[in-house]
Chains A and B, each alone.
Chain A
Amino acid sequence: MAAITVNGAQREVQSPVDTPLLYVLRNELDVTSPQFGCGLAQCGACSVLLDGREVRACVTPVSMALGKEVTTIEGLPARWARQKKLPPAEAEKTLHPVQTAWIEEQTPLCGFCQNGMMIKATELLEKTPSPTDAEIKAAFTTSGPSAHLCRCGSYAAILEAVRLASALMMKSGNT
């Protein structure tokens, strides 16, 4: 039986190890934020972080995640709390700055793609804390297997939310 780490917890997996991670997360482990968008790694709705790198869960067999850490947006607050060494009481009520920014900027429209957008933003800001607009656009367009697609056209809102998330993260780093 295989085991993977999801959002900080060790999870046993019954599904065959060639099953794409997306179906294991959603159906077996009840981690439902990654969404099925295309099954072809063409849109980014299913994105998760695998050891901090954005991958498409719809084409990533669970075998590729063995011994690695999977992070979804359910796990973003804990990831941030761990990175900032927040005391448990504070960690409990703290969202990841990417989530805070997404709410503050009212970024999602239908919101179906936004799981992947927030995962991509987290990956970007962990490596590049203060990205330029060009770097943000490149991250969402050319850095992965495909561009992250939003049919509702929330790209302008995403750009503003990433800028805000960056500012929030920089601010917390200085305190």
Chain B
Amino acid sequence: MSQQTSHKPLVKKIVLTLFFIFLLAPIYWLTVMSFKTDTEIVTGLTLWPQDFTFANYTTIFTTKSWWSSYINSAIYVSLNTIISLAVALPAAYAFSRYRFLGDKHLFFWLLTNRMTPPAVFVLPYFQFYSAFNLIDTHIAVAIAHCVFNVPLAVWILEGFLKGVPKSIDETAYIDGYSFPKFFATILVPLIRSGIGVTAFFCFMFSWVELILARTLTTSDAKPIVAVMTRVYSGAGIEWGLIAAAGVLTLIPGILVIWFVRNHIARGFAMGRV
């Protein structure tokens, strides 16, 4: 192993360093901008804020339309992750354990929903969710995001469940476990890492989505991504404020990665490899 890694260590280090600089440079710029005043941003290039200010962050934390939008996003993203996992688990179990009428077609059909561009759904969703009086509620966005997250969750979980030997099911039934008990106490703990990976992906794709979230909300459930577009289209662009809001959207993601980092490494390793 050591011979592998010490092959051309210097070249490797340079390549990695360059790539990480490329990844971090725009984020660095956004972060630095969030601590600058608007005049400093537009008047010249400064690598570090000359006039260091927290004003942009203060504005966000004291204006309700700003901070409540973060809470709105967090609510529908969590709801979506829970719903996606809850419906995808049994389905993934069925796909991994049984053959049934139309299973392959059903699986591909599910995947086609992951392929549908959200732009296609903008119009019908607005009318459809209006008809159910669901516009501007968190649950509406959570359910709408299921259209791409549920197929993805089924796809990933099915890979993990395939890795669990079938003899485990049979032994459990012989030992007198009922199906729900077997599912909750044996199977779910076994694919814990898989569930972690799936939750990460559901969270990620729901958190970053803009078009559907913007279409389905007007004020009470407006997510941060939509609030940012609104400020953006205003006449005078407040760059500092936008930068600060952008930096804050990174924080939930960092927290999620931190908590699931071990699951992700282990999960991918036992999953679809």
> Do A and B make up one complex?
no
